[in-house]
Amino acid sequence: MKILGIIVEYNPLHVGHMYHLKFSSNLVKPDFVVAVMSGNFVQRGEPAIIDKFARAEMALKAGVDAIFELPTVYSIQDASGFAFGAVALLNSMNVVTDIVFGSETNDIRTLSKIASLIVEEPKEYQRLLKKYLKQGLSFPNARRRTISDLLSHERIDTDQIRYSNNILGLEYLASLKRLSSKITPNAIKRKGSSYNEEKIFEIPSATALRKAILENKELTGIPNSSLKILEREISSGRGPIFMDDLFEVIRFKTLMLSREGLEMLYGFNEGMAKRMVDALKSSNDMNEFLKKIKTKRFTFTRIKRRVLYAIFDVKRDFVMQSNEFGPQYLRLLGFTKRGKQILRRISDRCSLPLISNVSNFNKSLRKRNVNIPLAKKQFEFDLKATDFYTLLFKKESERKFHRDSQKPIEI
């Protein structure tokens, strides 16, 4: 039996994602498709445009058989932490045979070579990396130069790792290696617009779609089933949610934590805390705030992730532990009728507790061999993230706590 595992955000789901899903299925010919998806906060350091249950529903309507939540501590990390959390979840199921990821290339041989360097960190790799970091390059850039130097004789285009999707792909491969996973990795070439392009082509970028939603423009390139869900969420007053909506809260948190408090958190090194405190003094909206923090070394995405770390008080130890031990539970967000079969199989074979009912969380932990304190911290973070996200809903009457107590979506 072939089971395809995919890692998604669907923020929102568009025809590019449909293309990816169809192409992956043609490649793997799976019996079932399972997905791991970011919850209410996504890898670009932003709140998702609509709630995770609605996005899970989009996925199910688009052909995913069962969808699981990537714990927030991974979903808002950089490529490496995000990929590790997601791959570890897929691997924990003990049923997934293949993963397929989009990348700018489908040259899996080269990507694998690079991934090996990243995982194995040979001496020469370490030396060069140190050298470039000392020269003041950011970590991603230093790493790219290092890999480029090491593979220069191989006549391969190491510029590939410049693209964000290739970076993620590399990290997926590296995580599979780290976990000694038996899952077969596959890469397919992305079609359509490049990651940050903000025009709506036939195949849009999620960024372009979010912009169109913000500007209340007509949405093209989004499948009908997704569009209906999106419109339902918006008209119910539960969205759309944007980064801007976090401004009041980050202002309050930055003020209260001040530099010393921020420096206790994950990711606040290299003067980031000071920059954030200083930027706050003269910013009247999120955009101004982020621009004032921006340096060559800190991309907007890195800064936005740190905004979330500040809002949620994400401690260094917690992230370190999570990155060492991996996710401690497998949270089911939704499934199709067909998906019930694969769910049963996952439930039997999964190395982590399968959580389909939040109120049984503690009981579920006891049955498996997990790091219980870490599991509780990860889960508590997810619940807080949901409750906080709920407070951002446009309509007051929708701001009800404990949305996570609802049953998984079933279609």
For a second copy, the closer CB: 101 or 388: 388
Retrieve residue 31's tokens: 């019996």
Q: Which of 255, 320, 372, 411 binds a second copy (CB under 8 A)?
A: 255
Tokens describing residue 373: 């304190």
Return all residues near 37 (Cβ < 8 A) that are at least 6 apart.
7, 8, 9, 10, 52, 55, 56, 59, 67, 68, 69, 70, 333
**Closer CB to a second copy, residue 107 or residue 398?**
398
Q: Give the span between the Cα atoms of 404 and 308, in whole angstroms.
A: 20
Taking every pair of Cα atoms in the chain, the longest distance, rounded to a whole number of angstroms, is: 62
Query: Do the bridges between strand 41-42 and strand 46-47 make them parallel or antiparallel, or are there none, so unpaired?
Result: antiparallel
Which of 41, 68, 74, 388 touches a second copy by CB under 8 A?
388
Q: Determine which residue in the list 109, 123, 134, 281 makes contact with a second copy, applying CB under 8 A.
A: 281
Smallest separation (angstroms) from a second copy to the CB of 1: 43
Place of tokens 């992230």: 319
Beta-ladder partners of 47:
41
Q: Which is nearer to a second copy, 202 or 380 (CB)?
A: 380
According to CB under 8 A, which one of 196, 218, 256, 317 is a site residue for a second copy?
256
Residue with Cβ nearer a second copy (132 or 388): 388
Q: Which CB atom, from 84 or from 379, has the smaller least distance to a second copy?
A: 379
Task: Based on the shown chain and the rule CB under 8 A, indicate whether residue 264 belongs to the binding site for a second copy.
Answer: no
Least distance (Å) between residue 384 CB and a second copy? 7
Is residue 21 a contact point for a second copy (CB under 8 A)? no
x/- letters, 210..249, toward a second copy (CB under 8 A): --------------------------------------xx
How near is the Cβ of 130 to a second copy at its closest, in Å?
38
CB of 4 closer than 8 Å to CB of 93? no
Between CA 381 and CA 396 the distance in angstroms is 23
- Site size toward a second copy (CB under 8 A) is 23
Query: Does 359 contact a second copy by CB under 8 A?
Result: no
The reply on whether position 119 binds a second copy by CB under 8 A is no
Cross-strand partners of 66: 34, 335
Judged by CB, which is closer to a second copy: 122, or 373? 373
- In degrees and rounded to multiples of 5, residue 256 shows phi and psi of -75, -40
As measured in angstroms, the least distance from the Cβ of 165 to a second copy is: 33
Are 79 and 168 in contact by the 8 Å Cβ rule? The answer is: yes
Using CB under 8 A as the binding rule, whether residue 263 contacts a second copy is answered as no
Identified binder of a second copy from the candidate list 373, 401, 406, 410, rule CB under 8 A: 401
Tokens of 61: 């309507």
* Contact window for a second copy (CB under 8 A) among 97-105, 200-208, 309-317, 403-411: 309-317
SS3 state at 340: helix
Beta carbons of 111 and 166 less than 8 angstroms apart: yes
Residue nearer to a second copy on the CB measure, 98 or 404 = 404
**Bond into 122 cis (ω within 30):** no
Alpha carbon dihedral 276, 278, 281, 285, in 10-degree steps, equals: -40
127, exposed or middle or buried, with CB in 10 Å at 0-12, 13-18, 19+? exposed
Q: Which is nearer to a second copy, 283 or 336 (CB)?
A: 283
CB 35, CB 56: distance < 8 Å: no
Element (H, E) at 262: helix 247-262
259 near a second copy, rule: CB under 8 A: no
Give the bridge partners for 80, in sequence order.
none
- CB nearer a second copy, residue 119 or residue 255: 255
Pair 222, 192: CB distance under 8 Å: no
Q: How far is the CB of 109 from a second copy (least distance, A)?
A: 47
Asked if 258 is part of the footprint of a second copy (rule: CB under 8 A), the reply reads yes
One of 214, 264, 391, 411 touching a second copy (CB under 8 A): 391
Q: Minimum distance between the CB of residue 361 and a second copy, rounded to whole angstroms? A: 15
Q: Does 320 bind a second copy (CB under 8 A)?
A: no
Residues at the contact surface with a second copy, assessed by CB under 8 A: 248-249, 251-252, 255-256, 258, 280-281, 284, 311-313, 380, 384, 387-388, 391, 396, 399-402
